[in-house]
Structure formats: C-alpha cells, structure tokens
Amino acid sequence: MTTITPWEVKGNVDYDKLIKEFGVSRIDDALIKRLERHSKNLHCLVRRKIFFAHRDLDFILDQYEKGNEFFLYTGRAPSGNTHIGHLIPWMLTKWLQDVFDVELWFQFPDEEKFLFRDDLTLEETEKYTYENMLDVIALGFKPGKTFFLIDTKHAGIMYKEALKVSKKITFSTVKSSFGFTNEQNIGAIFYTAMQAVPSFLPSVLHKKKMPCLIPHAIDQDPHFRVTRDVISKIGYYKPASIQCRFLPGLGGMDSDGKMSSSSGDNATIFTTDDAKTVKSKINKYAFSGGQATLEEHRKLGGNPDIDVSYIWLTFLEEDDRKLEEIYEAYRKGRMLSGELKALLIEKLNSFLAKHQQSREKARKNIDKFIFKV
C-alpha cells in the first residue's frame, strides 16, 4: 500500500496517479520553455522533470513579466539533522532566487514535529532548528533577501495571521485533508494554519498583495490545497507551487518512497556525514540494479532505472552528457556496480566537503537571516 501524507510516505509512489489525485498540473515542455526564457541555464532538476508538477506557475510568470514581483516560500520542520533529500527542493529554491532575484521566506515550524511525533521535545526541535538553519545558509541564499521565520519565536507576528486562516477551516476539512481522526491532538489540528501564514505574511508586512511561489516535495501539497481555499477568502493571492519527486532512500524505491531520516541512519546520507561514512553507506546500502555475478553483468548489463546510485546521480550530476554516458555504460555492462557507486561517492563527497565548510562559516551569520520584526 502506498501512503502519502505530509507526515508519512510509504510504498511505491506513482507520480502520474498523484497528479490526478492531488489535482496538480504537470510541468510540460511549454512551461519549461517559458522558464528558459528567464534563465538560459535551466536547473537540471527542472530539465529532468524531477520538479514534475505545479499549481499556477504560469500565473507567477504572468505577474513577474508584468513587473509584479513575487516571493518564494519554503520550509523545514526541524526533527533531526538535514539529509540530502531535504536539500533537493532548497537547491531549486536557491536557483529560483538567483534567476528572479526575489525574497525567500523560509519557515522553521519548530512545533510541527513536536505535535506530530511522540519522541521529540520542544527543546530538541529547537536544537535541530539551529542545525537545519546552517544547512539552508550553506546553500548560498542571499542575506538581506532571505528571511527565516521560526514559529515559536515569531509567534507574535504569525499567530494573529494564523487565527484569520484557522477561522475559515473546519475540523472536517482538516480531517479529510490529512486523514485525522477524533483522537488527533488539537495542536496538530491547528498546525496547518501556521504553515499557511508565510504564504501571505510578506503581503501583510509589505502592505501590498504579492504573489507567492512555494517549491516543495509533493507530500506537502495537502497543506497548500487547504491554504489556497482559504486565502482568497481573506484577500490574498492563492500561493502557487512547484513540486518535486522524492529522492529515494538508499534501500531502493519500493521499500521507501521518500528518503526518511526516521527509517534508520543507513538509508540516509546526512549533510554532516564524513567522507568515510558516505563511502561505506553507499557501498553497503545503496540498492544496486546490477547482476549477481561479474560474468552476468558483463553479458546482460545492469538496470540503471532501479539502481539507487544512478537515480541519485540524476538528482546530483548536472552534466547531461556525463549522465547519459553512465546510463549507457551501465546498461551495456561496461560499467560495474562498484564503479557506478564510486562515481556517486565522489559526487557526494566533493559536494559535502564544500557544503560542510560553508556550514561552519554559517554559524556566525545566522543572525543575518532570522527575520527581525
């Protein structure tokens, strides 16, 4: 069985079915062309349709082309260290900020995982908020144009807006949108109102109606479906969104649709893992599409489409030509599983070496990013 909610992703994800079920639109070639007009160098996550769906992205471009500036909004509910899967939507967000030179509002709802899980205290989520902020800053977002909102710290400005949202959402809407039962705690029932707030808070603060674009992994869509219904009733633009697939866990596609840090440290590469750990995790745990023996592999070739190392490279290797060559060499049996893994290890470790350096530097810059009321 496949389950996809903002709190749980299990099973094989059928993205075509999701498009229908969620009612999002596919990002088609025409829309990609339109993005290309604004940036000659399309991000590989767009080119490869890893960002595969959207709501109202055309509206955002219409507005932008008319000179009505939009802002970006995304977020992370602190619950543990950041892993590579978390970075995917943030990488695209960074690219969008560079291309359109717009503000980014980044939410850290430090109450979310506290409310939805039994094993986290607010003190722990606070610690992870700090750790997660380092990863966001390390990606290179623009200081002065990037604003962190931490729910418990910015409650003074956020709560008032959340109230306006919450008054328009009934318990039965939340139940059907998120699959809640009567046993759900009332903090969790209210939570979606807090996640709605950053999609219009900049309009409140700048005292003008601004369009909002939210890059996020597809599991967050139920929140923004609710937000979109409510928000026009309180006088703001419905937020637009652009949605990506999940980076699979190392164990492969069907055991784990989304790379989750709760399904064990071995299914995951954390941004703080050292080079040795990365090497041994990939070698030990990355699901291989190769054949059982060397002879068979040379004769029959591997299957890159189910090979986690290859799939990870489609998220991380920017060079299309190189990726194609790997695909062919592996499929024809010229490249072995170990060689493919070595390419991924090298890619991850060179990325992480830089990332970890920027992450350390970020410690002294946190204050520049936290929104000052």
Which CB, 246 or 287, lies closer to ligand TRP? 246
Query: Pick from 244, 192, 238: which is nearest to 218 by CA?
Result: 244
How many whole angstroms separate alpha carbon 363 and alpha carbon 137? Answer: 9
Residue 177 vs 195, nearer CB to ligand TRP: 195
Closest distance to ligand TRP from the beta carbon of 75 (Å): 3
In angstroms, give the least distance from the CB of 131 to ligand TRP: 14
315: number of CA atoms within 13 Å, CB side? 24
**Largest Cα–Cα distance of the chain, in whole Å?**
68
**Neighbour tally for 108: CB within 10 Å:** 26
Nearer to ligand TRP, 216 or 297 (CB): 216
Q: How far apart are CA 6 and CA 14, in angstroms?
A: 16
Q: How far is the CB of 88 from ligand TRP (least distance, A)?
A: 11
Q: Identify which of residues 201 and 326 has a Cβ nearer to ligand TRP in the complex.
A: 201
> Closer to ligand TRP at the Cβ: 77 or 150?
77
* C-alpha–C-alpha distance, residues 69 and 251, integer Å: 42
Contact at 8 Å (CB) between 179 and 173?
A: no
Which C-beta is closer to ligand TRP: that of 107 or that of 337?
A: 107
Please report how close the Cβ of residue 144 comes to ligand TRP at its closest, in angstroms.
21
Residue 146 CB, nearest distance to ligand TRP (Å)?
14
Please give the backbone phi and psi of residue 28, each rounded to the nearest 5 degrees, phi first: -95, 180
Binding site for ligand TRP (CB under 6 A): 6, 73-77, 107, 109, 112, 195, 214, 216, 220
Report the residue number, 130 or 342, with the smaller CB distance to ligand TRP. 130
In the bound state with ligand TRP, the residue whose beta carbon lies nearer, of 75 and 252, is 75
Residue pair 199/192 in contact by the 8 Å Cβ criterion: no
Cβ at position 195, least distance to ligand TRP in Å: 5
Angle at 289 between CA 288 and CA 295, to 5 degrees: 100
Nearest approach, Cβ of residue 48 and ligand TRP (Å) = 21
CB 275 within 8 A of CB 266: no
User: Which residue blocks in 118-242 are alpha helix, DSSP H?
Assistant: 122-138, 155-166, 171-178, 186-196, 201-206, 221-231
Q: How far is the CB of 224 from ligand TRP (least distance, A)?
A: 8
The nearest distance, CB 250 to ligand TRP, in angstroms, is 20
Return d(Cα 73, Cα 102) in angstroms, integer. Answer: 10
CB-based contact 239:214 (threshold 8 Å):
yes
> Closest-CB residue for ligand TRP?
75
Backbone angles phi, psi at 150, to 5 degrees: -110, 115
Contacts of residue 28, defined as CB under 8 A and 6 or more positions apart, other chains included, come to none
38's CB contacts (< 8 A; 6+ apart) are 61, 64, 99, 100
Using the minimum distance from each CB to ligand TRP, give the nearer residue, 216 or 331. 216
In contact, 337 and 302? CB cutoff 8 Å: yes
